Amino acid sequence: MAMSIDKAGREPLNERERFWTSAPSRESQELSTLRPEIEASWRRCEVIGVSSGDGDLPYTPDVDRDSRLRRAADPVIDNLVLHLQDAPATILLADSAAQIVDRRAGDAGLRARLDRAYVAPGFRYAEEDTGTNGIGTALEERRPFQVSGGEHFREALQSLACVGVPIVHPITRTVEGILDITSNLSDSNALMGALAQSAVREIQSRLYAESSDREQLLLQAFLQASRRGSSAVVSLNQDVIMTTPMAAQIIDTSDQALLWDWACRMLAGRDEFIGEVRLADNVTVSATARRVGDARTPAGIVIEMRPHPRDTKKSSARQLASASPVERRTETVRIPGRSLSTKRLQTELERLAAIDAPVLVTGEPGAGKFFAASALHRMQDADGHFTVFDAGTASVDPDAWIAGLVNWNKVDGALIIRHLDLLPEQLVSNVCAILSEAVDNRAHIIATAGEGVRQGPAGRLCDHFMRRIEIDPLRLRSEDIADISVALLRKHSPDRNGLRLQPTALQLLVARDWPGNVRELESVLASSLLRSMGSDIGVQHLPDGYRDGDLRRRNASTSLELAERDALLRALVETDGNKLLAAQRLGVARSTLYRKMRALGIDGSRFLPQ
């Protein structure tokens, strides 16, 4: 790793100027002296749009000092500091999101230079934030990576030399963090890389020792359940999943996060739970979930599953051939998701597709109202066209908007009116007349609106819609996130079929509240796709604010409150807001249900029966 300043510093700086100012050389010529791995990193930075200037870096003041990574790394770094006590080098430890969580050693001059460059705990050095650097690029490449002088993308780092080595968990094979040794460029030494790799091997050994007891306990429980032989068995925690061959046939990669989330909620305050869970591909299973280990130091969960044959069978070609045209269309139009809420929505849409009546679709902003309206239209007329009018834009030119609606009423095709609740009050009477005529002519009309549409000026229009569908918010159907994500990734990357969220990233997304619903999830996935550069999306690719765990239900201050709130919401959804039935399902008195709803901040008016 030792090299002169001329070679390590000036030549990359010259290549940097050539790289950014000569477009033909980027497209058709090899850069003469720039290392291929550095050039590849620079190209990634160019695509993402990373700035090479010295602007602000993502910063979080509170770093986790008691994480699994810190417990394994701290003793090793303590020993490493003894060897580097008088050396002009510093040791950096970063987590799996490239945030620096510890900085040790280094003389006063080096520490001051690092402070000026924001190379300090709390700052994140992911490649998409900071460009080519020893931490972020080693994380991106998943291998030891050296960056010297002008090879750094960020100008403030070009007087430094560093080598970063990924810390890979020996069991899960996930990257737990990066150990980086940094020095002034003039003090760089070939031993830095060897020293960092030796320290990482020690850290990985400590990670194995810490986790081996838990994993062995989980394995023992898995083997005991598997020997019974009559069920599909899954044994998992947040990092590991073990399956029997029978279980491997009925679950896919997205089910790991779903099963973990479901089991954690169901096992809150108990050691065993028996119930049903819906997996990918419309498969429902009877499941028995058991906690492995005690509540304070859990090793994981074992789930024994038995599929329901009626849910795994698909319609045969003969059945489809004998079905009506509407039945054949509804069979091919599926709403992504596996929750009871989505299953009920699918059933309602299929029923309404055969009824000639206007339909109003309501729900929170971004919940998927227009998607449901479009799906209903495809069920009614797969090849027919439809016209969309957005009431939210009617105030821009009211006369033109009404004229367009009148002209639509004179032609064939379906009508979808979006954001009906945003219709200006002065246009309500006109739209009422148009809808009355359209209904008399048996036109296909679907409208979408917010939940409070009846309280607004457009409330009178609701009387023209004989049928109503309400879309539940995403926070009440977290089981759907895996399937919705697959559909959204396919939408935004049609040429990369099979692209998925890695299980750990999916777990983080499932655990969120999603106030912006599906629209917010789509924005997060679109941003993550850009960062992932064609690979499956991991935690490191998620935007700021979405890489942290334990963010779900911020109103719940304890895990017990979290589980209670989820259970209450789910019971209310599954009973269509019937609080008596919800209380019976939960095994509590109705007065207890009301008291819990108030204590946990659940709005009872949200669940008024239709």
Tens digit of each residue's pLDDT (9 = 90 or more) over 401-453: 999 888 876 566 788 999 999 999 999 999 988 888 877 777 788 999 998 88
Query: Taking the alpha carbons of 329, 332, 334, 338 in that order, is the dihedral positive or negative?
Result: positive
Residue 603: which CATH number? 1.10.10
Question: Worst-scoring range by mean pLDDT, 133-147, 551-565, 585-599?
Answer: 551-565
pLDDT at 6 over 50: no
Same domain assignment for residues 73 and 108: yes
Same domain assignment for residues 185 and 38: yes
- Comparing 255 with 38, the larger pLDDT belongs to 38
CA 431 vs. chain centroid, Å, equals 40
Within 13 Å and on the Cβ side, how many CA atoms surround 476?
A: 23
Q: What is the pLDDT of residue 105?
A: 83
- What band does 4 get if pLDDT is binned at 50, 70 and 90? very low
- Comparing 105 with 203, the larger pLDDT belongs to 203
Same domain assignment for residues 468 and 410: yes
Same domain assignment for residues 115 and 189: yes
Q: State the average pLDDT for the chain.
A: 80
Whether residue 550 lies inside any domain: the answer is no
Whether residue 220 lies inside any domain: the answer is no
Same domain assignment for residues 144 and 183: yes
CA 448 vs. chain centroid, Å, equals 26
- Comparing 216 with 223, the larger pLDDT belongs to 223
177 neighbors 167 (Cβ within 8 angstroms) = yes
Residue 277: which CATH number? 3.30.450.20
Same domain assignment for residues 141 and 20: yes
Q: What is the pLDDT of residue 516?
A: 92
Whether residue 454 lies inside any domain: the answer is yes
Whether residue 549 lies inside any domain: the answer is no
Whether residue 244 lies inside any domain: the answer is yes
Q: Which of 506, 541, 576 is where one domain is finished?
A: 541
- What band does 182 get if pLDDT is binned at 50, 70 and 90? very high
Q: Is 425 exposed, middle or buried (0-12, 13-18, 19+ CB in 10 A)?
A: exposed
* Element containing residue 100 per DSSP (H, E): strand 100-104
Q: Dihedral through CA 387, CA 391, CA 397, CA 403, nearest 10?
A: 40
Same domain assignment for residues 382 and 297: no
Q: What is the pLDDT of residue 328?
A: 53
**For a pLDDT cut of 70, what percent of the chain falls above it?**
81
Residue 181: which CATH number? 3.30.450.40
Nearest to 507 by CA among 479, 465, 533: 479
Whether residue 114 lies inside any domain: the answer is yes
What's the rounded Cα separation, in Å, for the pair 29 and 105? 42
87 neighbors 105 (Cβ within 8 angstroms) = yes
Domains of the chain: total: 5
Q: What is the pLDDT of residue 354?
A: 85
- Cβ-count burial 582-596 (b if 16+ within 10 Å, e if not): bbebbeeeeeebeeb
Mean pLDDT to the nearest integer, 328-338: 75
- What band does 19 get if pLDDT is binned at 50, 70 and 90? low
**Residue 112 tokens, joined:** 């001051």
Residue 338: which CATH number? 3.40.50.300
What's the rounded Cα separation, in Å, for the pair 444 and 252? 39
Same domain assignment for residues 175 and 246: no
Same domain assignment for residues 304 and 327: no
**For a pLDDT cut of 90, what percent of the chain falls above it?**
23
Nearest to 377 by CA among 369, 385, 365, 389: 385
Q: Please give the residue range of the domain that contains residue 399.
A: 317-472
Q: Which of 448, 472, 496 is where one domain is finished?
A: 472
What pLDDT digit, counting tens, does each position of 357-387 carry? 889 999 999 999 999 999 999 888 766 678 8
Residue 506: which CATH number? 1.10.8.60
Q: What is the pLDDT of residue 557?
A: 37
Q: What is the pLDDT of residue 17?
A: 61
Same domain assignment for residues 367 and 384: yes
pLDDT at 135 over 90: yes
Q: What is the pLDDT of residue 216?
A: 80
Mean pLDDT to the nearest integer, 90-108: 90
Whether residue 552 lies inside any domain: the answer is no
Same domain assignment for residues 468 and 480: no
**Other CB atoms within 10 A of residue 389 CB:** 21
Nearest to 343 by CA among 488, 477, 522, 506: 477
Same domain assignment for residues 383 and 428: yes
Phi-psi region of 293 (alpha: psi -120 to 50; beta: other; left: phi over 0): left
Q: What is the pLDDT of residue 324?
A: 55
Mean pLDDT to the nearest integer, 93-107: 89
Whether residue 547 lies inside any domain: the answer is no
591 neighbors 557 (Cβ within 8 angstroms) = no
Nearest to 546 by CA among 569, 573, 516, 577: 516
Beta strands in 197-319 (DSSP E): 232-236, 241-243, 272-278, 284-293, 298-307
Q: Which of 423, 454, 472 is where one domain is finished?
A: 472
